[in-house]
Amino acid sequence: MISFSQGVTLLITAGTVTLNQEKIVAFYNELQDSTQQLASAGDLRQISQMLDYHFMTKGRYPADSSFHSWMETTFKENALKSLTKDSWGNELIYRTESKQKQFILISPGKDGLEGTDDDLKITGP
C-alpha cells in the first residue's frame, strides 16, 4: 500500500514530467542527434584509416565505382546497419581525385543532403 506522502510524491513527479514534457522530448531528440553524429564520425574515421592503409599498400585509393565492394571485403558484415550508410541511414558519399591519390568521404548528415551544415566530411591524405 502506498502511503499518503508517497502518493503526493508520485503526483508531484507525474505533474512535473507532464509540465516539462516538451523539454524532455527536446532533450531526448538532441541527445539522439548527438549520438548519431558521434557514431557517424567514428565510422568515417575508421573507414578513412583503412582507406589510408589501402593507399599505403596499393599506391592509390579504391576507385569510386568499387567503394561498395571494397567496404564489403575490408569490413565485416554488420547485421545492424549497412556498411555504406551513416547513422541516419543515408548512403556515404565517396569520391577520389587526382588519379586516386586523394579521397573525399562524406556523411550527408541528418537531412541527407550533401553540401549542408550537418555534413560530416573527411578528406585524405
- List domains and CATH numbers for the chain: 4-124 (3.30.700.10)
Residue 75 is predicted with a pLDDT of: 85
CB-based burial label for 39 (10 Å; 0-12, 13-18, 19+): middle
Under 8 Å between Cβ of 112 and 90: yes
Residue 43 is predicted with a pLDDT of: 92
User: 87-99, pLDDT tens digit by residue?
Assistant: 999 999 999 999 9
Residue 25 is predicted with a pLDDT of: 81
Closest CA to 98 of 64, 74, 121, 68: 64
Q: Taking every pair of C-alpha atoms in the chain, what is the biggest distance, in angstroms?
A: 76
User: 59-88, pLDDT tens digit by residue?
Assistant: 999 999 999 999 988 987 766 678 899 999
